[in-house]
Structure 1
Amino acid sequence: MTIIEGDTLPDTLPFRNLVLAREDGEDWCIGMRCPCGCGERLELMLLKEVRPRWDARIDRRGHVTLHPSVWLKQGCRSHFWLRDGRVIWCE
């Protein structure tokens, strides 16, 4: 996980790492590339007043858990959970 200061993600995201945008101690969003390999840029909002939104937990080792699952309705249509830094694919 890379943490950047600011409320927006960089234009280019790494292929195997998450980016957390944090401004003044408040987490705004997590960015990542779709783990299926299609390269789709995903931006998952963490702010409480935004819909849809995700909750993120980061353990001592820096492994991220997201809730709820991530389900792309267009494109590759991937559906997965991110738990303890691992992708768990939904059937």
Structure 2
Amino acid sequence: MQIIRRLGTSPRQRGSLSGDCCPDIFELGDGNFAVIGRDATILLTPELPLETVLGDDSRIVIIPRETLMHAKQDIPDIQSPRGHRAIRASA
């Protein structure tokens, strides 16, 4: 597994100078994403909808809204199975 790139700005660019709050989002070489955030599994598991299954190796992670908003520009659009960008219908 390999980290390809950070999505959005670094924690330092978002104002985390102390290093004690470093949420981040990364794109992986296999096309998946990795998130650094605060583990809220114990707190939020009872709040999950009934049809939601949390696997033994899964965690619920909270990232600040600002982190996701800064990453928005770097999140790829939905792609077709062949890897080409899907064309969005205009409203």
TM-score range, shorter chain: under 0.3
Higher relative contact order (CA 8 A, sep 6+): 2
Per the normalisation by structure 2, the TM-score is 0.24
* Structure with more of its chain in helix, by fraction: 2
Per the normalisation by structure 1, the TM-score is 0.24
